[in-house]
Amino acid sequence: MNTQIIGDIRIDRLVENEGPFADADFLLPDINPTLLQEHADWLYPRFVEPVTNKVIMSFHSLIIRTPRSTILVDCCVGNDKHRPSRPGWHQLQTPWLERLAGHGLQPEDIDVVLCTHLHADHVGWNTRLVDGRWVPTFPNARYVFGRSEYQYWDEARQAHTGDTPLNHGCFDDSVLPIIESNKALLVDSDHQLESGIWLEPAPGHTPGNIVVHVKSGQQHAILCGDVMHTAIQLANPELSSRFCLDPDQSRITRRQLIDSCADTGIVMLPAHFPSPTAGCITCHGDTFRYTDST
């Protein structure tokens, strides 16, 4: 993704991993098998791998730099995390911090860490393993969590009785250490971070899921997290992923977002769209497509 300039605000993408992730019918259980071929002219090979039909996905963070602060949105999977039920994430080792340095930033330079929701692939780098303990990766940052999102997972964790860790165990190793270090700020889902940057509720994928608006002058971008996992969902916005906790609400939220942004020139920055990630939603007959932002 090229740097996105939104007025006096800069947005960059920090990639952890990118590539074929899963079969389309695994990610989107309700998909019609003919949908991919009907939209093959724009879905292949950028969003779907030819022959295998695997959805191509990116796991990345987004860095927002304003004249006042540096904000890191979503923290990927993270290194050293115990995720045995997800082999591709288990004890992962990537040069994510080195790539952060490639953007001219050290962990100490981050002022705010914002998680659009608290799934394991969005909170991992909140912490890193130091001398056997999970400690905040960004020592000078305030970590912003949606209050309703945090409360949902905290209550679920306390009620959980199964042998398999809830949510891959990420609440224990990537969220609670932030709470215990007094670095967390729990906010309402419409919280304003600073002038021109505010949150909007986007429930469905998780109960407290949010999107992030960035606006400066006449330019507007939306960091839309997991409201959409793949551009296939623009071909059919009714398709919710298997990871959405409330698929019906997810459909409603996604359709509202798509309808409000289509043909407006608003730059979309989804959490898992592959390179170049940034784009605009355009109407195409009775459906939608994704086009590169200019």
The whole-number mean pLDDT for each consecutive block of 10 residues of the chain, a chain of 294 residues, reads 95 98 96 96 96 96 98 98 95 98 98 98 98 97 98 95 90 98 97 97 98 97 98 98 98 98 97 97 95 80
CA dihedral (17, 23, 28, 31) in degrees, to 10, reads 140
Question: For residue 212, what pLDDT is reported?
Answer: 98
Question: For residue 146, what pLDDT is reported?
Answer: 98
Is the CB of residue 282 less than 8 Å from the CB of residue 258?
A: no
Is the CB of residue 126 less than 8 Å from the CB of residue 116?
A: no
Which CATH number covers residue 248?
A: 3.60.15.10
Neighbour tally for 284: CB within 10 Å = 15
Quickly tell me which residue has 């019918």 as its tokens: 25
Q: What is the CA radius of gyration of the chain?
A: 18
Domain of residue 259 covers 4-292
Question: For residue 163, what pLDDT is reported?
Answer: 82
Question: For residue 162, what pLDDT is reported?
Answer: 81
Neighbour tally for 94: CB within 10 Å = 16
Question: For residue 294, what pLDDT is reported?
Answer: 62
Mapping DSSP to helix (H, G, I), strand (E, B) and coil, where does residue 229 land? coil
Entry pTM: 0.96
Question: For residue 49, what pLDDT is reported?
Answer: 97
Residue 242: closest CA among 55, 73, 58 = 55
Alpha carbon distance 71, 47 (integer Å): 28
CA dihedral (53, 272, 225, 9) in degrees, to 10, reads -140
Domain count for the chain: 1
